[in-house]
């Protein structure tokens, strides 16, 4: 698509998962077909409340910053065909990552796919072929078993596996997460470091 609804675009650090600590431009697309009860960006859900920008406007704004790392997030960014946006960013030598619940098929040109499945909507089966990073948010103890079920479907032998306590329940669930990590040592802990730092 040549135009996309954008809730916000900003320079920050990637707070979670494999690329934690990297300077990144986040492009937060508006619209979500998932509806997590614990969502911390509910204002992204209604795409009509946000401006529709052209791909060239979006890409131009990423050039204001020195980092070459761009994260497309949402909302649920796979609601839209992102092929043109990703191609245009890559022509500007950007490394393009996506954060997605995988509810719709992804284009093939994305450099890094962080798949974070959500119980509120089943992922599209094609996502398991494209995962570089599986990041499962633990909101309920049953999410740990559910994490393994998703990991078993990931095709890429080099994929990275992260378990992340949901922010509002992290104290409550940390002992469970710790025990999970000790029993499944190829998984790693992901924390929402941007929330500790109080940055977006
Ligand atoms: Fe919120 Fe993301 Fe869940 Fe959508 S998929 S409801 S944006 S946490």
Nearest-CA residue for atom 7 of ligand 1: 75
From the CA of 38, give the closest atom in ligand 1.
8
Nearest CA to ligand 1 atom 5: 34
Count the Cβ atoms, other than its own, within 10 Å of residue 199: 12
| Ligand 1: residue whose CA is nearest its atom 2 | 75
Report how far ligand 1's centroid is from the alpha carbon of 111 (Å): 22
Pick from 99, 36, 27, 97: nearest CA to 61 = 27
For the stretch 45-89, pLDDT in tens is: 999 999 999 999 999 999 999 999 999 999 999 999 999 999 999
Q: State residue 172's pLDDT score.
A: 83
- Closest protein CA for atom 1 of ligand 1: 39
Give the position of tokens 């920050």: 12
C-alpha atoms less than 13 angstroms from C-alpha of 94 in its C-beta half-sphere: 32
Q: What is the pLDDT of residue 121?
A: 96
- Ligand 1 centroid distance, CA of 158 (Å): 26
Q: How many Å lie between the centroid of ligand 1 and the Cα of residue 145? A: 21
What is the CB < 6 Å shell around ligand 1?
32, 34-36, 39, 41, 44, 74-76, 101, 118
In the numeric block, the tokens 């599209």 are attached to 124
Does 167 have pLDDT greater than 90?
no
At 135 the three-state DSSP class reads strand
Lowest mean pLDDT among 64-68, 138-142, 168-172: 168-172
Q: What is the pTM assigned to this prediction?
A: 0.96
Residues 6+ apart with CB under 8 A from 46: 30, 31
Say whether pLDDT at 170 is over 90. no
pLDDT of 130 > 80? The answer is yes
Please give the pLDDT value at position 88: 98
């Amino acid at each position: 698509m040549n135009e996309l609804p954008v809730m916000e675009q900003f320079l920050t650090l990637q707070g979670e998962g494999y690329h934690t600590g990297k300077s990144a431009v986040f492009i937060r697309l508006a619209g979500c077909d998932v509806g997590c009860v614990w969502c911390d960006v509910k204002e992204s859900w209604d795409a009509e409340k946000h401006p529709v920008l052209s791909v060239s406007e979006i890409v131009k704004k990423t050039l204001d910053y020195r980092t070459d790392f761009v994260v497309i997030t949402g909302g649920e960014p796979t609601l839209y065909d992102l092929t043109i946006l990703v191609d245009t960013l890559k022509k500007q030598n950007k490394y393009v990552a996506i954060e997605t619940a995988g509810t719709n098929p992804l284009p093939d040109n994305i450099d890094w796919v962080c798949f974070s499945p959500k119980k509120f909507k089943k992922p599209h089966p094609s996502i398991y072929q494209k995962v570089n990073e599986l990041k499962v948010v633990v909101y309920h103890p049953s999410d740990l078993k559910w994490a393994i079920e998703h990991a078993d479907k990931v095709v890429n032998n080099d994929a990275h596996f992260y378990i992340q306590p949901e922010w509002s329940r992290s104290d409550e669930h940390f002992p469970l997460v710790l025990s999970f990590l000790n029993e499944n040592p190829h998984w790693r802990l992901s924390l929402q470091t941007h929330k500790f730092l109080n940055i977006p």
